[in-house]
Structure 1
Amino acid sequence: MSQEIKKDDTEALIRKTAKKLFFGEGKFNATTQEIADAAGVNRTLINYYFRSRDNLFNLVFEEALLKEKEKSDAIMKSEMTFRDRLTEFIENSMSSAMQYPFLEIYIVTQMNQGCAYKTPEDMQKTMEKLDSELKEEIEQGNISPISTEQFILNLASLLSFPTCMRPLFQKTMEMSNETYERLLKERKDVILSTIFKN
């Protein structure tokens, strides 16, 4: 039993380390040895558990996408108000983007290289729900008139751009990691005040 627990712990450690290297540090080409060194394990264990570096990469990528979808689905299906759900979505997105700033970059890179990105099956229902709720918020005077498509583009830009462009912004504005982290943590309130009138 203890051997089985140790196996699960080692496998989870390798996955977590690989995810951090790939999507936290942007080292998409990290070798098996680099992953093993960062995890503090023998390189042969990666081949033992995952057969190859590419299998490990694909596995942690699919897991990352699945977790993001599960979080988004839970928020969309909750009974909270539109503003509360949006607040939670922003908090989750910023937290994920701060932890794994290169995940979205990788998705876009793969799409540019012709790799298919699987659109969630219930995306149409999600869009219809968002469209209906957004119109209601506009009618109530909470949000300035805007199309659903433009709303999504604005929200995605406000969320993703500061993390995707972090190295450039930090360098040009001569900011420490601590200062920039503080800015990112302030994003939720900045985004909400940009979207809502009051």
Structure 2
Amino acid sequence: MGIKDNSTEKLIIDTAKRVYFVEGKLHSTTQDIADAAGVSRTLLHYYFRSKDQLVEQVFKDAMQETNGRLESVMNSDLPFKKKVEHMIDVFLDQTMRYPYQEVFLITQINSVGPQICFEEKNTKVNTFLKQIETEMDNGNLTRMNPIHFMMNLFSLMMYPLITAPLYKQFFNLSDDEFKDVINERKKLICDMILK
């Protein structure tokens, strides 16, 4: 084989993301991904010598995208309440598009270890934690460890989406009805977490 084609490599990565993040097929084989991409397994192995290499690249891309979204929201000049509302919109919209991405990331972190996520201390998170502390000092938020505030926020956003198949069955909701519930949830989260 000759020079690697970036568009084919991107096609394989994008297909793997769709299979893992949208379809939730975390145990797909390289043959499954090659078939979904419309390429041969040989070609897939030309770009990614093993499934582990492909999964590692998909993981790195997903973590960079997640960190980028988080940093762009936390670094914005919006007032704190608007910043939190924007964070909720961004993360719920992203998770609705890629419902199994968080499960994939957590599975990889559990398999490989947390060192693959954050190579250095995230100063953006520390700055945001200080903003939370300031809001608490000003009486705008219930007093708690700022880490709990962030954990509560992410739990309220992510858990219902990670467990969506269970909730859809439990409450007998169609996909559209579940999306409506999640869209209603955006305001409810703000009401629950902000004074």
* TM-score where L is the length of structure 2: 0.86
**Superposed displacement of residue 176, structure 1:** 0.6
Corresponding position of 1:24: 22
Paired residues of 2:20 and 2:104 also in contact (CA < 8 A): no
Paired residues of 1:90 and 1:159 also in contact (CA < 8 A): yes
**Superposed displacement of residue 86, structure 1:** 1.5
| Deviant stretches of 4+, over 6 Å | none
Corresponding position of 1:163: 161
Q: Secondary structure at the match of 1:12?
A: helix
Distance of aligned partners of 1:34 and 1:111 in 2 relative to their CA distance in 1, 3 Å threshold: closer
Corresponding position of 1:80: 78
Q: Which runs of 5+ in 1 are unaligned?
A: none
RMSD after superposition: 2.4
**Superposed displacement of residue 189, structure 1:** 1.4
* TM-score where L is the length of structure 1: 0.85
1:105 counterpart (82, 85, 103): 103
**Superposed displacement of residue 37, structure 1:** 1.7
Corresponding position of 1:14: 12
Greater CA drift, 18-27 or 107-116? 107-116
Deviations 1:93-131 (A, max 9, x none): 1122122222322333344456234335242x3344233
1:122 and 1:91 map into 2 onto residues whose CA distance is 26
Deviations 1:144-174 (A, max 9, x none): 2232122122112101111111111111111
Paired residues of 2:15 and 2:36 also in contact (CA < 8 A): yes
Q: Which runs of 5+ in 2 are unaligned?
A: none
* Percent of residue pairs bearing the same amino acid type: 34
Paired residues of 1:46 and 1:53 also in contact (CA < 8 A): no
Equivalenced residue count is 193
